[in-house]
Amino acid sequence: MEHRRVTAPARLAVLGSPIGHSRSPLLHAAAYRVLGLDWQYEAVEAAGGALPGFLASRDASWRGLSLTMPLKRDVMPLLASADETATLTGGANTVLFDRADGSLALRGFNTDVYGITEAFREAGIDALGSARILGGGATAASALMALHRLGAQRVLVSVRTPSRAADLVTLGSRLGVVVELGLLDDDTAGEQPDAVVSTIPGHSEAALRFAPELRSHAVLFDVAYDPWPSTLARAWDEVGGTVVSGLEMLLHQAVAQVRVFVNGDPDAALHNEQAVLDAMRASIVAA
């Protein structure tokens, strides 16, 4: 497929509920300023039931959407096509309104996997052998795929109800990763994963306890960034452990989203991308 850079004025939005805390409008506004694009990006409060009507009512000025949970999964049956990452993880956080052939086609992408992978790499972590994921939703699926890209061969997924996370075992099998399911409050004594990835809200993690040896050995990637530092991040800091904030994931997945909206391809680098990345990072650091 030939990817064409779009420069005409366009509208975009991030959808979710609640959505008032979203940093996405700051990130995207910064990117489009550097790129010299007269594009509007807003936050829209929307639950899953409103998604089909919202998509159908967008006029030709709309270029695309960013989606939060549960819309990442709700959108899948509404798409004309989805990239391999979205298909494997069962969720798309990015929708492109593609009118290249004169008619509207909704194309879905998952840029969360890229965001997680790049956040690890920017923290100096290029390879992992084993990991523990906290939570079993769409973000956990993206985390599993990112861990696979970093070389992880064994992942323990800790959830409140293991039977609801069976799809992660299936995904692991497709990726060649051994996935085991356990409870969130399982004893961590003797456990030494290379990384712990938390995909649960910050206010839900207060009861989780990890041994000091684990915290000092394993890097913590905490998807939650509001409030920050999270309870887990503070626990890691107490022993001098390595912590990667969810803001880094947010930043890098947004870069890939901008690539989709501008170039039609999450792998097609932006013009002057380093300047775009710097401006986007500055926008959320200052917030």
The CATH number covering residue 76 comes to: 3.40.50.10860
Q: Is residue 19 part of a domain?
A: yes
> Taking 80 as the threshold, does the pLDDT of residue 141 lie above it?
yes
* Number of domains observed in the structure of the chain: 2
258, 230: one domain: no
- 30 found inside a domain: yes
Residue 209 belongs to domain with CATH number: 3.40.50.720
136 and 234 assigned to the same domain: yes
Residue 106, phi then psi, degrees to nearest 5: -90, 120
Do 46 and 21 share a domain, yes or no?
yes
Torsion, Cα of 32, 100, 114, 259 (10° steps): -20
Same domain? For 163 and 187 the reply is yes
| pLDDT for 127 | 98
Domain extent, residue 137, equals 126-241
Residue 29 pLDDT > 70, yes or no?
yes
Residue 93 shares a structural domain with residue 138: no
65 and 87 co-located in one domain: yes
Q: What is the pLDDT of residue 26?
A: 98
Residues 235 and 255 grouped into a single domain:
no
- In this predicted structure, the answer to whether residue 4 has a pLDDT above a threshold of 60 is no
Which of 28, 115, 112 is closest to 69 using CA atoms?
112
Residues tagged active-site = 72
Contact 82, 108 (CB under 8 A): yes
Instruction: Say what the pLDDT of residue 102 is.
Output: 86
Within a domain: 14: yes
* Interval 47-72 mean pLDDT: 93
Does some domain include residue 173?
Answer: yes
pLDDT reading at 3 higher than 80: no
Residues 27 and 90 reside in one and the same domain: yes
Q: Are residues 85 and 155 in the same domain?
A: no
Q: Do residues 237 and 268 share a domain?
A: no
Please report the pLDDT score of residue 189 as a whole number.
Answer: 65
Residue 95 lies in a domain: yes
2 pLDDT tier (thresholds 50, 70, 90): very low
Structure tokens that stand for 174 in this block? 């497709």
In a domain, 115, yes or no: no
Query: Helices 246-263 and 273-285 meet at what angle, rounded to 10?
Result: 140
Mean pLDDT of the chain: 93
Angle at 272 between CA 266 and CA 276, to 5 degrees: 70
Q: What are the start-end ranges of the H helices in 50-181?
A: 51-56, 71-74, 84-89, 112-122, 138-149, 166-175
pLDDT computed for residue 1 by the predictor:
43
